[in-house]
Amino acid sequence: MSTDSSPAALQGGLDVPAVVPGAVCHRGVVYAERIGYRPLLMDVYVPVRPAGPVPCVVWVHGGAWWEGDRRFLPPIWPAGSLFAELVAAGLAVATVDYRLSREATWPAQAEDVADAVRFVRAHADELWVDAGRVAVAGDSAGGHLAAMHALTATGDTAVQAAALLYPVTDLHDWGPGESPWESPAESPEAILMGCLPDDDPEAWRAASPITHVHAGAPPTLIVTGDADLVVPPRQSQRLHDALVAAGAHDVELDLVPGADHCFGGVDPVPVLRRVVGFLADRLRAG
Question: pLDDT tens across 230-282, in order?
Answer: 999 999 999 999 999 999 999 999 999 999 999 999 999 999 999 999 999 99
pLDDT computed for residue 89 by the predictor = 96
Answer yes or no: is pLDDT of 18 > 70.
no
What is d(CA 144, CA 3) in angstroms, rounded to the nearest whole number?
32
Residue 177 pLDDT grade (very low, low, confident, very high; cuts 50, 70, 90) = low
- Residue 221 φ then ψ, to 5°: -110, 130
Closest C-alpha among 160, 147, 162, 150 to residue 235: 147
Residue 184 pLDDT grade (very low, low, confident, very high; cuts 50, 70, 90) = confident
pTM of the model: 0.93
What is d(CA 18, CA 84) in angstroms, rounded to the nearest whole number?
11
What is d(CA 276, CA 85) in angstroms, rounded to the nearest whole number?
7
Domains and CATH numbers, the chain: 3-285 (3.40.50.1820)
User: Helix or strand or coil: residue 224?
Assistant: strand
Q: Mind telling me the catalytic residues?
A: 140, 228, 261
Closest C-alpha among 265, 269, 163 to residue 223: 163
CB-based contacts of 14, cutoff 8 Å, min separation 6: 27, 28, 41
Residue type, 116: A
Answer yes or no: is pLDDT of 43 > 70.
yes
